[in-house]
Structure 1
Amino acid sequence: MPLKVYRARTMSEALAEVKKDLGAEAVILHTRSFKTSGLLGLGSKNMVEITATDDEPTASKRAQRPARRTTERSPTPAARSLSSAAASKAYGKPAAPVALAQSTFATPKSDPSYTPESEPAVALMEHPVPPSHQNRGFSQPSAGVMPVAPSRQDKPAQDASLEDELHSIKRMIGRILSSSSSPSSAPGSMPDALFEHYLALTEQSVATEIADEIVGKVRDELSAAELADAEIVRETMLRQIAKLVPAAGDSPLPRRPADGRPLTIALIGPTGVGKTTTLAKLAAVAKLRHGRTVGLVTTDTYRIAAVEQLRTYADIIGLTLKVVSSPAEMRPALEELSDCDVILIDTAGRSQHDGDRLCELRTYLDEADPHETHLVLSTTSAEAVMLRAAERFAELRPNRLILTKLDEAVNFGVLLSVTRKAEVKLSYVTTGQEVPDHIEAGRPDRISRLILGGPDA
């Protein structure tokens, strides 16, 4: 039995090579996966190895041997006559002529029409099933050879498709089970159109209690006929989601507050959420689109090149920048910018777990006394991280929320949980790194479409 070894990157590719070389009747003897070593440990990759042969399996040969022994050692005429007589006595039938027995058990190879493929794998029974046994449900044995199920290795594409389908079903069942804590969310307890949108909410990681709340409001608002209309259900879902997103609704045109001071806006938040880039976008919009005079203040003297980054933006846009190294320097810096229409304050990023740094940040804010304090959070962070940050930074009394990096977010359902946890109004969202284009006002209808339809909405 000649053996051949085939190697490929995937099992499908290896099976294709086996079938191409040995045909559909190839026999798979062994498979294994291994990793090839690259140069200096780099560039290693997974490989699949298949050992196969095109020879007839040994088990099949063994199955044919009893048939050949039966034909080569045919019983003598006397033995066949005795056997026939015994059968007649047992079943009450006349004995069959010896010639018939000889014809039945004649060597197949003596037949000119004999071919090896026509030889049965197992010799047929000598005697038929008696009539008494037939009445009890027994049937005559078939003279054909039992068909053998084709090898699974012959259909790798079908197996892969079946695997993908089973995986999709498993994911669907998992979503249903994970959302079955409330009786109202069970598949049979709501119309199909409503249930499809409920699954869309869970896929976007909307908290179960919030999803149940939305579905309950939609069900209360619509009639049975309207609940059967997918488009009406969708529009109602979008409207109910939008109601859960509190928007600041600030005027895009900055104005001086009633106290006569420049509109002072401070940005706070954890490290790496994009505060400095967002501040540059706000400054560019106020200066270039609305013609306002803008002053910049930064307290971020901890991060390497943070001041230089903001100074570069200030030079490009044509703004005045003040660097504040201590809380005592904050008020003098603001007084120097009192002629500006808007003052934007960039603060150092602080970990939500660092209580001392958060207290230090509070002293800066107390000295600045900003009209608006915007908490900046990145939508690429995990839900638990965002909720924890919103909880800790709430001690600094922010009254606005900016969500950054929507273009990089995986899902958007967490936005509902964050806005509810932070108890602040959404002011802006950012959708990229370009200044000043990739920033827009936080609109509830825009957020609701993202939550229900995903990034492509």
Structure 2
Amino acid sequence: MKIRRFFGKDMRDALAQVKTELGGEAVIMSNKKVGDGIEIVAAYDREPSPSLMPKPSPAGKKSPSLSDIIGDSGPDSLRALLEQQSKAAASAQAEPSQPAAQDSRGSVSTPSSAPASTPAQQRPAAAAPQSASSTPVAASQQASSTSDKDLQDIRQELASLRNVLQFQVSGLIEQDRRRAHPLHNYLAGRLEQMGIEPALADEVVSYTPEACDERQAWVYLLKLLANRIHTTGDSILNAQGVVALVGPTGTGKTTTVAKLAARYAQKYGQDQVALVTIDSYRIAAFEQLATYGKIIGCAVKKAHNEQELADVLYQLRNKRLVLIDSAGFGQRDSRLIKQLDTLRTHSCASIKKYLVMQANSQYQVMERTINTYNQISLQGCIFTKLDECYSLGEAVSAAISHRLPVSYLTNGQQVPEDLHVADAKYLITTAAKLYKKYALAHTANQAEAKRAHAV
């Protein structure tokens, strides 16, 4: 078996040279990138046919031999090349690894175990075996790294193909499901447009009776969603004790506390309710709550830490209801954990916690908020800013999916008029009206026309 090396500007050019000179039966042994293109090492069993032989060189010029092409010291057969590489690898493993030394001229040399007579005699003796053994090892390492890179590229391509196939298969399964249950697919799509989370929409649609038309099935689904919403009734205003409103910043906790306090003062008297703030981060947080307290006519206190909160609650132990306004933090804020720990202490074990959330938030935001505040046992939630919603299905989905009871709804800034006891039927009806007004194409166009006409 003979070997030859070919150089080309790219892989196609090099392969064309191999095919032209050696024929189609040549075996590609290796390929690698060089400075100006690609180098290919090919092997062949017999001499190529005369038609495939390279053209003779002009007169006076000697044709390059195989030794000239692959190097003066290169073997003429594949077996000799393999034997040389195996000997070089064995000698490299047998020799102990020693750090390379650098002389004053900047050249690097490796110390040799042979006895040295003079520095001038030592350098050539040590350099010769190194160059003979390190060249095949370096070539083998480079070929190995190239092979690893190619293998990694193949794996990435296979992973990409797998993702595409999975997407196509899921699409086919979805098409089959739609063809099998066209009404269910239509109703699930309407629920998702209303803001209902897709998993919840598929779940409730699966209970739809078969012998129903589109209108009957839609009414059935709305009633089913309403039955799955848990409410607490007027739990805060009908009870006694300590209640804390928690939640992210900007959800309207302070205004909701004022609404609850005003309602409670109207029902039981202003001396039966007190307000406490533990918000020591927001500017003028205490002043805002104190203004509400002055209008309502109830006591207002503040606490900066766990001990102060325990002392304030002891001072207000004769009050029928104590409402705590907490600071608003994002779910990833470290100060939130500190605040939750304050509400979780043994001295505050009797505090009832209610989560305040904006009804116009995204479902993912609500879900992460509920998961964060579930570290403390929540008695319910309060949805605010219903007047700013264009879709209410996200709030409905969050309450149903996490089985979090809904206590109150707020739809404005007026104190205490814009506070309402939560009702499941009202929530679903409002969500359906918002969907009909803003989500459906024809009704949305009508709403836009009415607003433009009003202007």
TM-score normalised by L of structure 1: 0.53
Shift of the alpha carbon at 1:315?
0.4
Shift of the alpha carbon at 1:291?
4.0
Query: Gaps spanning 5+ residues in structure 2: where?
Result: 1-169, 438-455
Post-superposition CA distance 1:383-417 (Å, at most 9, x none): 22221111111112222111111111221121233
Q: Say if 1:290 and 1:187 are closer, same or farther in 2 by CA, change over 3 A.
A: farther
In structure 2, what is the equivalent of residue 318 of structure 1? 297
Structure-to-structure mapping, 1:268-279, within 5 angstroms: 268-279=246-257
1:418 lines up with 2:418 in the alignment:
no
Q: Which amino acid aligns with 2:195?
A: S
In structure 2, what is the equivalent of residue 342 of structure 1? 321
1:235 and 1:455 mapped to 2: Cα distance?
14
In structure 1, what is the equivalent of residue 151 of structure 2? none
1:180 and 1:247 mapped to 2: Cα distance?
41
How many residue pairs end up in the alignment? 266
In structure 1, what is the equivalent of residue 178 of structure 2? 186
In structure 2, what is the equivalent of residue 444 of structure 1? 424
Shift of the alpha carbon at 1:324?
0.7
Native 8 Å contact 1:280 1:313 kept in 2: yes
1:286 lines up with 2:280 in the alignment:
no
Q: 1 or 2, which has the higher helix percentage?
A: 2
Post-superposition CA distance 1:19-38 (Å, at most 9, x none): xxxxxxxxxxxxxxxxxxxx
In structure 1, what is the equivalent of residue 220 of structure 2? 236
1:278 and 1:326 mapped to 2: Cα distance?
23
Q: Which amino acid aligns with 1:255?
A: A
2:355 and 2:172 mapped to 1: Cα distance?
34
Structure-to-structure mapping, 1:27-426, within 5 angstroms: 186=178, 189-191=181-183, 197-219=187-209, 224=211, 227-228=212-213, 230=215, 232-251=216-235, 253-256=237-240, 263-291=241-269, 293-366=272-345, 367-426=347-406
How many percent identity over aligned positions?
Answer: 31
Q: Which amino acid aligns with 1:239?
A: K
In structure 2, what is the equivalent of residue 12 of structure 1? none
Query: Gaps spanning 5+ residues in structure 1: where?
Result: 1-177, 257-262
Shift of the alpha carbon at 1:183?
6.5
Post-superposition CA distance 1:153-197 (Å, at most 9, x none): xxxxxxxxxxxxxxxxxxxxxxxxx99975797277244xx6665
2:173 and 2:428 mapped to 1: Cα distance?
24
1:184 and 1:242 mapped to 2: Cα distance?
30
Q: Say if 1:364 and 1:211 are closer, same or farther in 2 by CA, change over 3 A.
A: closer
Native 8 Å contact 2:361 2:394 kept in 1: no
1:188 and 1:255 mapped to 2: Cα distance?
52
Native 8 Å contact 1:352 1:392 kept in 2: yes
In structure 2, what is the equivalent of residue 115 of structure 1? none
1:348 and 1:403 mapped to 2: Cα distance?
17
Q: Say if 1:197 and 1:291 are closer, same or farther in 2 by CA, change over 3 A.
A: farther
Native 8 Å contact 1:298 1:322 kept in 2: yes
1:307 and 1:346 mapped to 2: Cα distance?
10
In structure 2, what is the equivalent of residue 156 of structure 1? none
Q: Which amino acid aligns with 2:221?
A: M
RMSD over equivalenced CA pairs, Å: 2.7
Q: Which amino acid aligns with 2:225?
A: I
Q: Say if 1:406 and 1:184 are closer, same or farther in 2 by CA, change over 3 A.
A: farther
Q: Which amino acid aligns with 1:382?
A: Q
TM-score normalised by L of structure 2: 0.54
Shift of the alpha carbon at 1:306?
0.9
What SS class does the counterpart of residue 186 from structure 1 fall into? helix
Q: Say if 1:302 and 1:203 are closer, same or farther in 2 by CA, change over 3 A.
A: same
In structure 1, what is the equivalent of residue 83 of structure 2? none
1:342 and 1:184 mapped to 2: Cα distance?
58
Post-superposition CA distance 1:317-358 (Å, at most 9, x none): 111011111111112111221221111011111211023432
Q: Say if 1:253 and 1:275 are closer, same or farther in 2 by CA, change over 3 A.
A: closer
What SS class does the counterpart of residue 396 from structure 1 fall into? coil
1:296 and 1:344 mapped to 2: Cα distance?
5
